[in-house]
Structure 1
Amino acid sequence: MRATWLSAASEIGVNCATGSPAPPPGCAASTSTLSSTSCPTGPRVIGAPITVAWNAKEDLLDLLATARTRPDREQVRDLLYRFYRRCADADLPELQRLATTVETWWPEILAFLHTGITNTGSKGTNRVIKTIARDTYGFRNPGNQRFRTRCATTRRARGHLDAR
């Protein structure tokens, strides 16, 4: 699996030929790395696996924070490389699964980074519809159930418009 992540990183321009754990030239070091100096209770207290997982999470958040900022290809490449490298070096099954998930969803994640468009609005509306449908399950009239669902999902019912 490690080779798969690194090959995915190389597809977007990351030089993985050296195999060294250091990022390629120009890749900024993580400013949010947890260590003994940055956290007084650092790795001695919370343990190395948790520290590695926390740092990988921060690397992923650094990558996602570039959304809606029109990041250039090199910036995305460097942040993605840093995340994949940390996951590959960690030998934690949870981080391997996270890296695999990011690799699987990479086209969608990249589209979000460049456009900032998500499907959260439609997911929220579908959640409301399912909740109302569950609440009205016992109704004998399907038309009434549809009416209540429509009322719950209109902008006025959600408080967006003044009813005056």
Structure 2
Amino acid sequence: MLGITVVAADLPEAWRLWEAINDWWDEIETFIETRVTNARTEAANTAIKHIKRTGRGYRNHRHYQARILLRSHRQTHRQRTRLNQQATTANCG
């Protein structure tokens, strides 16, 4: 149906959408079937880039690595704490 609509519309935007869907169809189908994304990986990469940018260049690679690991630990601890609080609240209600 989308292909017919794209041909009928004959707009550059519609053709770009059609090409993008065709290029990414395997990934789209995988998401539809599994509901799995790489959002957490992308978030971690963004956080690492932010650390690098705000650090204004680490001269010692170990310090840079330690900063990344400390942030990762803090995020994991916050998530676990939040999940534990939710579980405790659910058990009390």
Task: Return the offset for 1:143.
Answer: 1.1
Task: Return the offset for 1:84.
Answer: 2.4
Out of 8, 14, 35, the position equivalent to 1:116 is: 35
Q: Distance in 2 between matches of 1:120 and 1:85?
A: 33
Assess, with a 3 A threshold, how the Cα gap between structure 1 residues 145 and 97 changes in structure 2: closer, same or farther. same
> Over residues 70-97 of structure 1, what are the superposed CA-to-partner deviations in whole Å (9 max), with x where a residue is unaligned?
xxxxxxxxxxxx2222222211111101
Q: Does the 8 Å contact 2:58/2:64 carry over to 1? A: yes
Query: Which residue does 2:64 correspond to in 1?
Result: 145
Assess, with a 3 A threshold, how the Cα gap between structure 1 residues 132 and 86 changes in structure 2: closer, same or farther. same
Task: Return the offset for 1:126.
Answer: 0.9
Q: Distance in 2 between matches of 1:94 and 1:114?
A: 27
Query: Which residue does 1:131 correspond to in 2?
Result: 50
- Give the TM-score of the pair, scaled to structure 2: 0.73
Q: Distance in 1 between matches of 2:6 and 2:70?
A: 46
Structure with the higher fraction of residues in helix conformation = 2
Query: Which residue does 2:12 correspond to in 1?
Result: 93
Alignment of 1:10-89 (within 5 A): 82-89=1-8
Q: Which has the higher contact order (CA 8 A, sep 6+)?
A: 1
Q: What letter matches 1:128 in structure 2?
A: A
Identity among equivalent positions (%) equals 30
Q: What letter matches 1:99 in structure 2?
A: W
- Give the TM-score of the pair, scaled to structure 1: 0.44
